[in-house]
Chain A
Amino acid sequence: MAVDENRLPVPETVSDEYAPGVKGFMQGARSLLTGLGITASASTRKPITVRYPQEKVTVSDRWRGALQLKGALGRDEIDLVSAPPHEYNAKIDGLYRNDRLSPCTGSCPANVDARGQAFLIADGRIPEAYELVRERNILPGVLGRICHHPCESACRRNRYDEPISIRLLHRFAYEEYRKVAAERIKPLPKTRDQRVAIIGSGPSGLAAAYDLMSLGYTVTMYEREAQPGGALSTGVPSYRLPRDVLYGEIADLVALGLDLRCETEVGKDVMLSSIMRENDAVLLAVGLQDSRILPLPGTHADGVVGALEFLWAANNLGDAGVKGRRLLVIGGGNVAVDVARCALRVGATEVRLSCLESDQEMPCHPWEIEEAVDEGVIAMCSMGPVEVLSEDNQVTGMRMKPCLSVFDETGRFSPTYGEDTQDIETDVVVFAIGQAARLDSLVSGTDLLVSGRGQLVVDGADGTTSVPGVFACGEVVTGPGSAINSVATGHEAATSIHRQLEGRSLTEGRIARPVPVYEKYAPVDMEYVEPDRRRAVVTLADPDERATDFRPVESGLTKEQAMAEAARCLRCESEVCVGCTFCARTCPDFAIKVERTDQPGARCLTTYELDLTKCCFCGLCAEQCPTGALQHTGQYELSFYHRDLMTFDKGEMLRSDQGSRATGLDGITSPVCPAPRTGPGERP
């Protein structure tokens, strides 16, 4: 411990004494003169007091003063996070830098404006909500079924009770939109004469196609299969994603002007080189087609299948040859769970799922494995495969060993295993441990580079490949991932293509999407959450019944449910008070009273009363405010001639810009609550 040599040493005892006798008398007399000297020198120093108000200019932004509202429900509408495709990143970035990016939008890989969606749905403007979401997520209905919704984990409502069901709101918006789709969809004008070809009709390709079409390009899309949708069509089981949803949304896109050519395999039916000649830019969104199979002894035996092949057969043929047989899935990801649940539906008698990770670390989403276990899947965690056992080239079982740890200290994949092995009897082994791209026929006749591991050489940042004018996006670039991630890469690639075709630099002035870090929420004790604050509950089909067929497991929201759910949105960072009452709930003096009405079309904060006679200036309310609408003013010394003036009503709280009692200036009245909109065509 470094000891400061210059510091004053603490005396042995603080009770020092004067010397006795004359010496002490002189010490005393001297002390009086010292005192006079100190006061005399003090009178020459700078005073510590300041003149008010001339010198008190340093107003701290942390001051806790009286409170004001920046905006309120029904008075101020929020800014929808909406922009042309190529300017979207800059908009998000600006919001992020100003701390105005809501957690849901920030945490979404594609930055879908979930806050705006909730705002519009709660207001009854559902088609607008759908179109707002479609700006960034071309398949709201699809993602509304299958998205792993990182937005809901980031939702600030987690702090108080339960997150908004953003995914189900997507789904609800889609279902409502279907009713009006025909009249709302108009072909996008083709304002530019350049042509873009997109190879693959998966989520990333579709996202890029929509962006490019809305920028005025002519887009042609090639698909190998008979049905468009890529992995969504071939891989995702229909109990999760009914095919009419997927094809319906793609049909919308076609109606918007997409030239979709199915059953056209590039490299066989049409050569990539000729597509490159005919178009100004080509986007490869081919995805991953091959299942990886571990190089273990015995994998050549009959009954060892890859996950994609299995899923394709189960989805398209309705029979994967496992009826009445036992099945073991190797892998713990989402695909593995899909395989396991499909296997049950196509008649497997016993489905096991084994993975290296423990049940806490499984890479699939917890709700998925939960549903799968409900349906009868047996999860075997922390198990590593050793060898496929076979008899007469027919799989009979799998030898497994316990996995002790999956990752090493640095977080790299480096599993360690125990000694004792265990044999598991099974008839079919499905490997769901990852996928790889199949590019050989595609790239033949072009200069596209493929790495030694069979991967396309791509600059991950802007999607450029080794050939100018050819771009790539989706899982072929990122590796296996979520659908919304693919959508996000599609948007990036579209931006690159647009810049290239406009002749601009691909990187200059381009803003990378920020990855904001959101607060981690503690689990909320639901015992203390009132019923009307809880999130909408949707029913899941009975596990025993649903495991037998491919009907959708989850039901959607009703209109009432959806609007109530959307009304729960806190509109984070919008600086508009939504009347969420969390300031009133956290006020230690019970000085705040908040009420609102949720009448569609006339949602309004009806009451906001702050009783300053009770306020203790603790600042907890403003800290709790999710939207930032409740803010401190610099006024912490308020005085009035009448104590009634100490109660600030809603008008007073909102009047800060013109000057109010809260900000120390008396102001003008302001409009408080709008009349309900009852115009033709709009619901009251």
Chain B
Amino acid sequence: MSFLWGMLWGVAAVMVIAGGAIVGVWWERKVSARIQLRLGPQQIGPAGSLQMVADVPKLLFKEDIIPAAADEPFFRYAPLAVFAPIAMSVAVIPFATGWAPFDATAGALFFLAVPSISVLGILFSAWASHNTLSAIGGVRAAAQMVSYEVPRSLSVLSVLVLAGTLRPVAVMDAWEWWWIPATFVGFIVYLISSIAEMNRGPFDIPEAESELVAGYFADYAGIRWAVFMMGEYGGMIAASLFGAAMFLGGFRLLPGAWGVVAFIAVGAVLMTIIMWMKWTFPRLRQDQLMTFCWTILTPIAIVQLFAAGVIAAWL
């Protein structure tokens, strides 16, 4: 029975993420277009809103190209290995009072740990493509994701210290408004390292289109490529919603059902900010990225954690 429920939740999560990705891609295309003095999608639907809906069948029916030199099984399933952990992570986000799709006791740990598995999928795809540029992209991605795991976890930890629990639903129950200023620095660190974690600009070094073309998924086409993109947007949705919940109060901002609306809205704003940054900033170089992570972000996160610990002890 619980297995069936799990299946159902899984399908629901995939649908939510796929739907979110469709909206997200459209929104990103509009946002980037406006930033770049363009119009973005125009032709299909009002303001091109059905463009992505039209793109999905196109991607489904495109030829599924597998390079002759590729390591076929790994090449085939690597996109799933990237996407599945990210989809799973959405399950622990608390949407309403006392309710998360998967109310795990160590949910925060789950959220931080499970998406990291996708680095394996990236390495698989990079290696299986049998392409030098992909390989470089994969190695860069692995190094980057593993590194940014540290400040990201540390910044989330500062909230968990204040709440005294790893269970997201419980964190939300314990949330107080003054946590926002108290963990604001941590929030910034969380946002930056989340961007790095999902390989988006200005930290999109693994897929840097100007040098590596598209990095680890350069050889992918059609639906497999779409799964990568869903993974990216899924990661963005998950990180935005989790950040909105943990650092900005999530559904606690407004009472009752309005809280859910406010939560989604704050998540959308965070997503827009992530897009805004991507379309504004140049990309860092590999060594600058690492330097930034270890010499700036990590110390700041540690200081934030220490401060949160002091506050928690003082209370």
- Chain A residues within CB distance 8 Å of chain B: 32, 35-36, 38-40, 42-49, 51
Are B280 and A51 neighbours in the complex by a CB distance under 8 Å?
no
Closest chain-A Cβ to B285's Cβ sits at a distance in Å of: 15
Residue A48 contacts which of B35, B37, B42, B277 (CB distance < 8 angstroms)? B37
Task: Give 11 pairs: A residue, B residue, CB < 8 Å, sorted on A.
Answer: A35-B281, A38-B280, A40-B35, A42-B34, A43-B34, A44-B34, A46-B37, A47-B34, A47-B37, A49-B37, A51-B42
Interchain CA distance A43-B95 in the complex, whole Å: 32
B275 to chain A minimum Cβ distance, whole angstroms, is 10
| Residue of chain B at shortest CB distance from A48 | B37
**Does residue B225 face the partner (Cβ distance < 8 Å to A)?**
no
Q: Which 9 A-B pairs have the closest CB atoms?
A: A43-B34, A39-B35, A39-B280, A35-B280, A48-B37, A49-B38, A47-B39, A43-B35, A47-B37
Which chain B residue has the least Cβ–Cβ distance from A37? B280
A12 to B36: give the CA distance in the assembly, Å: 31
Question: In the complex the two chains form, is A42's CB within 8 Å of B276's CB?
Answer: no
Question: How distant is the Cα of A128 from the Cα of B38 in the complex, in angstroms?
Answer: 65
Residues of the A chain whose Cβ atoms lie less than 8 Å from the Cβ of B34:
42-44, 47
Chain A residues with CB under 8 A of B39: 47, 49, 51
Looking at the assembled complex, report how far the CB atom of B41 sits from the nearest CB atom of chain A, in whole angstroms: 12
C-beta contact mask, B13-46 vs A, less than 8 Å → 1, else 0? Answer: 0000000000000000001011111110010000
Whether B279 is near chain A, meaning CB under 8 Å from some CB there, is: yes
Residues of B within 8 A of A35 (CB): 280-281
Smallest beta-carbon distance A127→chain B, Å: 65
Question: In the complex, A36→B272 CA distance in Å?
Answer: 12
Inter-chain contact B281/A43, CB cutoff 8 Å: no
User: Which residues on B sit within 8 Å (CB–CB) of A45?
Assistant: 37
User: CA of A45 to CA of B31 in the docked complex: distance in angstroms?
Assistant: 13
**Whole-angstrom distance between the alpha carbons of A247 and B186 in the complex?**
114
**In the bound complex, how far is the Cα of B36 from the Cα of A677, in angstroms?**
66
Instruction: From the candidates B36, B277, B281, name the one contacting A42 in the complex (CB within 8 A).
Output: B36
Contact A47 B281 (CB under 8 A): no
A36 & B37 in contact (Cβ 8 Å cutoff): no
Q: Are B36 and A40 in contact (CB under 8 A)?
A: no
Which of the residues B35, B36, B281 comes within 8 Å of A32, measured between beta carbons? Answer: B281
A46 to B37, CA, bound (A): 7
Select B279's contact among A32, A39, A44, A46, beta carbons within 8 Å.
A39
Please report the total number of B residues contacting A with Cβ < 8 Å. Answer: 14
B contact residues around A48 at 8 Å (CB): 37-38
Complex interface bits, B257-280 against A, C-beta within 8 A gives 1, otherwise 0 = 000000000000000000011011
Residues on B with beta carbons closer than 8 Å to the beta carbon of A38 = 280
**Closest chain A residue to B30, Cβ basis:** A43
For residue B35, which residues in chain A have a CB less than 8 angstroms away from its CB? 39-40, 42-43
Bound-complex Cα distance A43 to B35 (A): 4
Looking at the assembled complex, report how far the CB atom of A416 sits from the nearest CB atom of chain B, in whole angstroms: 70
Q: List the A residue with the shortest CB-CB distance to B202.
A: A32
Shortest distance from the beta carbon of A30 to any chain B beta carbon, whole Å: 14
**Given A32-B281, A35-B281, A47-B276 contact (CB < 8 Å):** no
Known: A43-B31, A47-B33. A36 touches B280 (CB 8 A): yes
Q: Of residues A36, A43, A45, A48, which shows the largest number of chain B Cβ atoms within 10 Å of its Cβ?
A: A43
Interface centre among B34, B39, B42, B280 (most CB of A within 10 A): B280
Flag B270-307 by CB within 8 Å of A: 1 or 0 each.
00000011011100000000000000000000000000
Cβ distance A508 to chain B, nearest Cβ, rounded Å: 58
Give the residues in chain B near A42, CB-CB below 8 Å.
Answer: 34-37
Bound complex: CA of A51 vs CA of B38, how far in Å? 10
**Which residues of B131-188 are within 8 A (CB) of A?**
none
Closest B-chain residue to A54, C-beta based?
A: B42
A35 to B276, CA, bound (A): 10
Picked from A36, A44, A51, the residue with its CB within 8 Å of the CB of B276 is A36
Contacts of B277 in A (CB 8 A): 36
Shortest CB-to-CB span from A67 to chain B, Å, is 31
CA distance in complex: A44, B33 (Å): 11
Residues of A within 8 A of B36 (CB): 42
- Given the known inter-chain contacts A32-B281, A47-B33, please indicate yes or no for A39 contacting B38, CB distance below 8 A: no
* Residues of A close to B33: CB separation below 8 A: 47
CB distance from B298 to the nearest CB of A (A): 17
B 84-105 to A, binary, CB cutoff 8 A, 1 in contact else 0: 0000000000000000000000
- A residues in contact with B281, CB < 8 Å: 32, 35
Q: Is the CB of A40 within 8 A of B38?
A: no
Q: Contacts A32-B281, A51-B42 given; indicate if A40 touches B37 (C-beta within 8 A).
A: no
What distance in Å separates the Cβ of B7 from its nearest Cβ neighbour in chain A? 42
Q: Which of A42, A45, A51 has the most CB of B within 10 A?
A: A42
With A and B bound together, what is the CA distance between A428 and B119 in angstroms? 117
Which B residues lie within 8 Å of A49 (CB)?
37-39
* Min CB gap B222→A, angstroms: 25
Are A40 and B42 CB-contacts (below 8 A) given A32-B281, A48-B37?
no
In the bound complex, CA of A439 to CA of B281 (Å): 95
Q: Is the CB of A47 within 8 A of B42?
A: no
With A47-B37, A49-B39 given, name 11 new contacts (CB 8 A): A32-B281, A35-B280, A39-B35, A39-B276, A39-B279, A39-B280, A42-B35, A43-B35, A48-B37, A49-B37, A49-B38
A424–B31 alpha-carbon span in the complex (Å): 97
Give CA–CA (A51, B279) in the complex, Å: 23
